[in-house]
């Protein structure tokens, strides 16, 4: 919408951002190098993406990733919703999540709220993907995104699995990426080289999610590959920590999906071992952290209709309290519309924090926006005119930072969030099931 929008990727060509690490909130670690979008997958991985008719549009809608290693190592994280989709339930109940070999993902249908039939449909596709790739069914993890309450067109999916299996290649990550996208305006994909003390490894990821706000419940799916050698416990530890610092810290509209899934797979083909509690583990963790944080910020930036994104940092003495306050600000439609409008309306932050922490009155909170303190101990420090003069140019940028200090010390959190625009309403009101 503004010229600066391009920093998030050229939407007209739906390409990835020109520079992957372009946000001040997820800088590139010195030992991590962006290889660009055409570098392909790490050794030991092949991928493909096809169109098999799950989407009525005929766009790509089914993808496979296969790890050809003898001993693949993996870890996965899923949505905590009380109403998980069939592919999430099946993956959690029937997969060897520490030794996954295959990812089967589709867009165009979430296979959620589909009951027993949905589980049976998912199991059929899991079995077909296992046969097509020579894996065990328990080694095939599923990821779906699309409309809730719709049944999966299983025959289309089975045809798609066969076709995708015949097209697997080291540079199939782009086709896979396209097959998992729904309303995403641009790719969220990276190919990185990571310099570890024990040698270089590759780290790649394909991610989808226009926030959690798509009309179809866009869902967050993220698949990560590396040729480093990780023990299952190391993979699980690093994925868990990095997901908490990335996908768990972003909000478009506070809506948790039925289908969120993140999977890390390690082929070990580089021969470089990331041993527990080693300098290699530290460096690999830093790279994974930077990668996932950047992908999370890109998802927020791609929230439908999004023009600007915010980061709220809350400090205080009690972790649950700072967490509650940060979520309240990030999910407040009043704060979000102010961000959209470039309005330094910090009274809305006072209101959001106070409303989320009943019974704490009077709460002596401090508020700064882009480093300018506007509120001290709950009271205005500057007139509205002074605030506007100090902040007007800052609020026209793509990224706006809010710092809130509550009483006490030692607790801190952050949440990334998108603004709320006309476009969000248009997309979500005009969609019809």
Q: Which of 293, 220, 396, 284 is nearest to 20 (CA)?
A: 293
Q: Which is nearer to a copy of itself, 110 or 265 (CB)?
A: 110
Q: Phi, psi (5° rounding) for residue 35?
A: -85, -5
Cβ at position 190, least distance to a copy of itself in Å = 28
Whether the CB-CB separation of 66 and 45 falls below 8 Å is answered with yes
Q: Which residues pair with 345 in a beta bridge?
A: none
Q: Phi, psi (5° rounding) for residue 366?
A: -105, 145
Q: Which of 73, 34, 65 is nearest to 202 (CA)?
A: 34
Q: Which is nearer to a copy of itself, 14 or 425 (CB)?
A: 425
Cβ at position 207, least distance to a copy of itself in Å = 20
Q: Which of 191, 294, 188, 275 is nearest to 235 (CA)?
A: 275
Cβ at position 149, least distance to a copy of itself in Å = 4
Whether the CB-CB separation of 406 and 317 falls below 8 Å is answered with yes
Q: Which is nearer to a copy of itself, 34 or 388 (CB)?
A: 388
The one-character DSSP state at 251 is E
Whether the CB-CB separation of 32 and 290 falls below 8 Å is answered with yes
Q: Which of 340, 333, 91, 103 is nearest to 208 (CA)?
A: 103
Q: Which is nearer to a copy of itself, 260 or 269 (CB)?
A: 260
Token pair, residue 177, equals: 């990426």
For residues 307 and 305, give the distance between their C-alpha atoms in angstroms, rounded to a whole number.
6
Cβ at position 365, least distance to a copy of itself in Å = 7
Three-state SS at 382: coil
Q: What is the largest CA-CA distance in the chain?
A: 68
Cβ at position 343, least distance to a copy of itself in Å = 5
Of the residues 219, 234, 261, 413, which is catalytic? 219
User: Is position 219 annotated as part of the catalytic site?
Assistant: yes
Cβ at position 214, least distance to a copy of itself in Å = 9
Q: Which is nearer to a copy of itself, 74 or 150 (CB)?
A: 150
Q: Which is nearer to a copy of itself, 223 or 346 (CB)?
A: 346
Active site residues: 219
């Amino acid at each position: 919408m503004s010229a600066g929008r391009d920093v998030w990727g050229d939407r007209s060509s739906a390409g990835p951002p020109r520079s992957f690490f372009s946000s001040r909130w997820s800088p590139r670690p010195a030992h991590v190098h962006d290889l660009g979008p055409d570098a392909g997958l790490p050794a030991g991985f092949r991928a493909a993406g096809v169109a098999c008719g799950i989407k009525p549009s005929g766009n790509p809608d089914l993808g496979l990733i296969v790890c050809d290693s003898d001993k693949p190592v993996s870890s996965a994280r899923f949505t905590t919703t009380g109403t998980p989709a069939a592919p999430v339930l099946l993956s959690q109940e029937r997969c060897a999540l520490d030794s996954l070999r295959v990812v089967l993902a589709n867009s165009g249908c979430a296979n959620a709220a589909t009951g027993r039939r949905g589980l049976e449909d998912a199991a059929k596709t899991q079995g077909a993907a296992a046969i097509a790739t020579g894996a065990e069914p328990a080694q095939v993890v599923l990821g779906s995104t699309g409309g809730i309450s719709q049944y999966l067109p299983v025959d289309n999916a089975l045809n798609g699995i066969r076709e995708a299996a015949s097209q697997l290649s080291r540079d199939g990550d782009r086709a896979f990426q396209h097959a998992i996208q729904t309303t995403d305006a641009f790719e969220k994909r990276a190919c990185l080289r990571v310099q570890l003390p024990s040698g270089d490894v590759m780290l790649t990821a394909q991610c989808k999610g226009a926030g959690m706000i798509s009309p179809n419940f866009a869902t967050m799916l993220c698949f990560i590959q590396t040729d480093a050698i990780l023990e299952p416990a190391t993979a699980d530890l690093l994925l868990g920590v990095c997901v908490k610092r990335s996908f768990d810290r972003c909000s478009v509209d506070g809506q948790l999906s039925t289908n969120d899934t993140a999977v890390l797979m390690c082929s070990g083909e580089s021969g470089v071992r990331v041993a527990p509690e080693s300098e290699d583990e530290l460096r690999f963790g830093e790279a994974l952290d930077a990668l996932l944080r950047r992908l999370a910020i890109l998802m927020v930036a791609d929230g439908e209709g999004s023009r600007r994104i915010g980061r709220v940092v809350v400090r205080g003495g009690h972790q649950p309290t700072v967490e509650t306050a940060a979520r309240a600000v990030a999910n407040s439609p009043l704060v979000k519309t102010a961000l959209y409008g470039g309005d330094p309306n910090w009274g809305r932050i006072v209101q959001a924090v106070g409303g989320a922490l009943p019974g704490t009155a009077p709460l002596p909170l401090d508020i700064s926006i882009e480093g300018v303190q506007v509120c001290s101990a709950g009271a205005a420090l500057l007139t509205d005119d002074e605030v506007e003069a100090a902040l007007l140019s800052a609020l026209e940028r793509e990224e706006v930072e809010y710092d809130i200090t509550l009483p006490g010390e030692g607790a801190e959190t952050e949440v990334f969030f998108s603004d709320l625009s006309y476009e969000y309403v248009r997309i979500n009101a005009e969609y019809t099931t």
